[in-house]
């Protein structure tokens, strides 16, 4: 990705080739299981249309979203792929899904019965995807509820899915218990494929892959193996121009709350990115940025539209209005920014704002 001598406004660069490479890497890892793609929340904030199209061109044939409306938007983009909606029938009636050719991931025996009834009324035989709660205590049926289903109801289930609560902690005993519960429940559904692993679950090994895996975060460069080197290619780069450089002439402070003290001779660069753009307020005084090859600290409080950097340690000639500052990139990625702000990389990606100019690399943006 290019490094501009001067930058006019903040720019979010999204590497579609890296997303595709991450999907292909995971697909090879889990074969012969199928590798789907989770593109909910506007592909984790990176743009549903360009991301989904790039993945479909690469060979991805099954996509997961959260909301029915996301599924309808994706169906308009990709007429031929399979689309599953994780929220089930809670937000829309079966007719909505049938018309849009979406598969709800059903969260209860009652939803399964409603789906079967709607399919019979429409004279179609859509397979059901059923969610089993193996320990997350969110959506999904427990094993006792599934055991009460009749043989005909069980026979129409084509996918039995569950979700790991502690996949990013490989030694957590709940991982093995959840897998065992899925194996036991699967015996009730003679035709069903099984799915348990999302991004981190894939790295628990082949025993967790079953027939289909559902990576999301790992596709977009977040580390699915916390505490170990990130096996995924970086996807996102956020750069913004310096607006102004303050030459500090007397002792004072930076930003709201006067939390960062200044002394004569310091230089403070102002950058037009703030929490309204999704850059976390809590990262002030903890995050890092880069100007060319130099690391500089974010100092003072992050405000709605601005943040400030202490550039005293680099050459004065290297920083001027228009100088590009890398706020997210390979050297300080979304996981690192999340750690500085006391959150997770998922939240960083999904909150990146619409005020950025978006630049897609390695694929079509529209």
Q: Residue 250 in contact with residue 233, Cβ under 8 Å?
A: no
> Omega of the bond prior to 319 within 30 degrees of 0, cis?
no
Q: How far apart are CA 321 and CA 335, in angstroms?
A: 28
Catalytic residue among 9, 40, 275, 279: 40
Catalytic residue among 208, 256, 279, 360: 256
Residue 243: what are its φ and ψ, rounded to 5°? -85, -40
- Structure tokens, 134: 């193996």
Q: How far apart are CA 27 and CA 8, in angstroms?
A: 39
Q: Which residues of 23-45 are buried (b: 16+ CB within 10 A; e: fewer)?
A: bebbbebbeebbbbbbbbbbbbb
Q: Residue 72 in contact with residue 37, Cβ under 8 Å?
A: no
**Residue tagged 């409603």 (tokens):** 114
Q: Residue 320 in contact with residue 300, Cβ under 8 Å?
A: no
Q: Residue 158 in contact with residue 192, Cβ under 8 Å?
A: yes
For the beta carbon of residue 124, count every other beta carbon within 10 angstroms.
10
Chain-centroid distance of CA 18 in Å reads 14
Minimal CA–CA distance to 333: which of 286, 272, 275, 287?
287
Does 40 qualify as catalytic in the annotation?
A: yes
Does 256 qualify as catalytic in the annotation?
A: yes
For the beta carbon of residue 8, count every other beta carbon within 10 angstroms.
9
Q: What is the CA radius of gyration of the chain?
A: 24
Q: How far apart are CA 143 and CA 181, in angstroms?
A: 8
* Catalytic site positions: 40, 256
């Amino acid at each position: 990705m290019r490094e501009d001598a001067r930058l006019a406004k903040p720019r979010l660069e999204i590497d579609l080739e890296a997303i595709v490479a991450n999907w292909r890497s995971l697909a090879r890892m889990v074969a012969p299981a199928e590798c789907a793609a989770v593109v909910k929340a506007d592909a984790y904030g990176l743009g549903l249309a360009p991301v989904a199209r790039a993945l479909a061109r690469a060979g991805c044939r099954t996509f997961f979203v959260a909301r029915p409306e996301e599924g309808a938007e994706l169906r308009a983009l990709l007429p031929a792929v399979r689309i599953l909606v994780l929220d089930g029938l809670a937000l829309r009636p079966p007719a909505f899904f049938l018309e849009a050719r979406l598969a709800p991931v059903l969260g209860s025996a009652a939803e399964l019965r409603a789906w079967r009834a709607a399919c019979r009324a429409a004279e179609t035989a859509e397979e059901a995807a059923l969610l089993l709660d193996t320990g997350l205590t969110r959506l999904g049926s427990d094993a006792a509820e599934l055991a009460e289903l009749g043989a005909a109801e069980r026979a129409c289930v084509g996918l039995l899915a569950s979700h790991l609560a502690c996949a990013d902690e490989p030694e957590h005993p709940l991982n093995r218990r959840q897998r065992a519960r899925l194996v036991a429940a699967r015996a009730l559904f003679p035709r069903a494929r099984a799915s348990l692993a999302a991004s981190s679950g894939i790295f628990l090994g082949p025993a967790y892959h079953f027939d289909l895996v559902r990576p999301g975060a790992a596709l977009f460069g977040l580390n699915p193996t916390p505490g170990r080197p990130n096996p995924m290619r970086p996807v996102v780069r956020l750069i913004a121009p310096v607006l102004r450089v303050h030459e500090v002439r007397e002792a004072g402070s930076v930003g709201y709350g006067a939390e960062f003290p200044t002394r004569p001779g310091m230089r403070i660069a102002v950058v037009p990115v703030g929490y309204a753009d999704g850059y976390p307020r809590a990262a002030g005084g903890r995050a890092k940025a880069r100007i060319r090859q130099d690391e500089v600290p974010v100092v003072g409080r992050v405000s709605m539209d601005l943040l400030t950097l202490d550039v005293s340690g680099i050459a004065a000639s290297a920083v001027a209005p228009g100088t590009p500052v890398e706020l997210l990139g390979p050297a300080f990625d979304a996981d690192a920014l999340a750690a500085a702000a006391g959150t997770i990389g998922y939240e960083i990606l999904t909150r990146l704002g619409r005020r950025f100019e978006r630049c897609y690399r390695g694929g079509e943006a529209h």
